[in-house]
Amino acid sequence: MAEAPGAGDDDVDALDTLRLGRAEAAADAHEILAVPPEWRARLERRGLAPLAGTGWRYYAWIGALLAVLGWGIFAYTRQLDEGLIVTGMRDRISWGLYIASFVFFIGISHAGTLLSAILRVTRARWQLSVTRMAEFITVVALMVGALFPFIDMGRPDRILNILEYGRWQSPLMWDILAITTYLTGSTLYLYLPLIPDFALARDRLGPTAPRWKRAFFRAAAVGWNGSAAQRRALERAMTVMMLVIIPVAVSVHTVVSWIFAMTLRVAFNTSIFGAFFVAGAIYSGIAAIVLLMAVLRKLLRLEEYITRTQFLYLGYMMAAFSLIMTYFNVSEYAVHGYKMEAGVPFHFEQLMVGPFAALFWFYIFGGLGAPAIIMLVRRTRTIAGVVCAAVFVLLAMWIERYLIVVAGLRVPLEPYAPRDYFPSWVELSILAGAFALFALLISVFAKLFPVISIWEVVEHRGPEPGARAENEGSRRGRPGVAGRPAR
């Protein structure tokens, strides 16, 4: 990929300005790293390269995503025209694929901003290479997930009735307020650390980027020049957002869980749903970050900056949350199983030996057991192993949401025969369109924003020892650093 002009050793004035401003603002903290100029220039070139030019493969990928999204929109027009009768939902199972996917997308949004904020507060420098990808996931997942309640309505125009006549005693109103607040805060939290990198793109790319993109960078940089006053203002704003976003993120999925827990259903009758949903959200969110950074690392050739370190640490966090999720599941089923209230035997039977048994046991062993084992065994504790564990987690956590919604509503409230549910082609098409929209937004973001927070990596992390040698050894099929196999 062609290098941006002026990205050599003698053309680093923008980052020099940023570093000098930071040095003046935090001279006593000794946070500025002395990094090799050639490494810094290489990071800039690699981080800004996707913004400068676009190949035919990118357009082919976007075209494929638009085709899937278009099919999903067509399926939705059929639903609007004929009503919810075209779905598999009926009066006894009134929530299905849409609400399960809503909970899933809202869930994976949590690990982005929440994990980023927690790690920033604790000054964990290893995560700076992937922080922005995590924050991308948050904003995009919230955008896509927030669409599903509208899609689930037979008359989406009546959403205005909730705003006009809604009752604040309803968890649905709490949910709207929480998600709106979280999306606003997450967007702002994504934008603030982008400002110095927008200024870097403005100063570096020049004629290699289209005119409209250069105008966008100028506007988005809001006149950033790296002065000490600007640096202090940015640091204060980021600190405030870090402290605000953590309780907001926790409250969002807690409120989502209350939509279920405050419903008079046997399977939802628990007081730990809030903590259960928050833990599950972070668990699936970490897996989404791992999968996204593996894809972007490969496609954008970021192996020197996203190394085995990031994968292993996120893998350890994923394994820890697998144990937390195991604890919540044991507690949940042990308490319900001990009391065996009316409806619980039916619910347990359908999950463990009935129509949902295959999904349930995959969730237990594939989603909770396998990731912990992968991280426990030394031979599988590799980049490929962590990515494999993340795939297991994402599949299992979507299945868990499906089981909560569909299996929970299948338990009879009256002495009638239980009804079965299977999503129709309309629901499956809309779900495929939602995933295509998620991938489309991520792909567009990767062309507009640097996917690595360049200025933070330069100032607060620097080069990882041996990363470049290990990367080059891996590319050539030779042993990596210190004679160890490159992973």
Residue-wise pLDDT for 195-218, tens only, equals 998 998 888 887 777 788 888 888
For residue range 478-487, what is the model confidence (pLDDT) as tens digits?
Answer: 444 333 433 3
Question: Residue written as tokens 């004035």?
Answer: 13
Tokens linked to 279: 């833990």
The share of the chain scoring above pLDDT 90, in percent, equals 37
pLDDT number for residue 485: 37
Name the residue with higher pLDDT: 373 or 463.
Answer: 373
pLDDT number for residue 55: 81
What does the alpha-carbon distance between residue 467 and residue 480 come to, in Å, rounded to a whole number?
Answer: 9
What does the alpha-carbon distance between residue 135 and residue 344 come to, in Å, rounded to a whole number?
Answer: 40
pLDDT of 469 above 60? no
pLDDT number for residue 147: 92
pLDDT number for residue 1: 39
Name the residue with higher pLDDT: 471 or 381.
Answer: 381
User: Other CB atoms closer than 10 Å to residue 42's CB: what's the count?
Assistant: 17
pLDDT band at 15 (very low <50, low <70, confident <90, very high): very low
pLDDT band at 471 (very low <50, low <70, confident <90, very high): low
Name the residue with higher pLDDT: 374 or 111.
Answer: 374
What does the alpha-carbon distance between residue 140 and residue 434 come to, in Å, rounded to a whole number?
Answer: 11
What does the alpha-carbon distance between residue 31 and residue 22 come to, in Å, rounded to a whole number?
Answer: 9
Q: Which of 19-23, 50-54, 139-143, 207-211 has the highest mean pLDDT?
A: 139-143
pLDDT number for residue 342: 83
Q: For the residues 391-397, what does the mean pLDDT come to?
A: 95
pLDDT number for residue 476: 52
For residue range 413-462, what is the model confidence (pLDDT) as tens digits?
Answer: 888 888 889 999 999 999 999 999 999 999 998 888 888 888 888 776 66
pLDDT number for residue 467: 59
What does the alpha-carbon distance between residue 140 and residue 90 come to, in Å, rounded to a whole number?
Answer: 30
For the chain, how many residues are written? 487
Domains of the chain, earliest start first: 9-475 (1.20.1630.10)
Question: Is the distance from CB of 288 to CB of 114 less than 8 angstroms?
Answer: no
pLDDT band at 361 (very low <50, low <70, confident <90, very high): very high
For residue range 300-359, what is the model confidence (pLDDT) as tens digits?
Answer: 888 888 888 889 999 999 999 999 999 999 998 998 888 888 889 999 999 999 999 999
pLDDT of 62 above 90? yes
Tokens linked to 400: 């868990």
Q: What is the pTM of this model?
A: 0.84
**Residues in Cβ contact with 97 at an 8 Å cutoff, skipping those fewer than 6 apart:** 88, 402, 423, 427, 428, 431
pLDDT number for residue 11: 35
User: Other CB atoms closer than 10 Å to residue 389's CB: what's the count?
Assistant: 29
Q: For the residues 157-168, what does the mean pLDDT come to?
A: 81
Extended beta strands in 315-365, E state: none
What does the alpha-carbon distance between residue 280 and residue 325 come to, in Å, rounded to a whole number?
Answer: 7
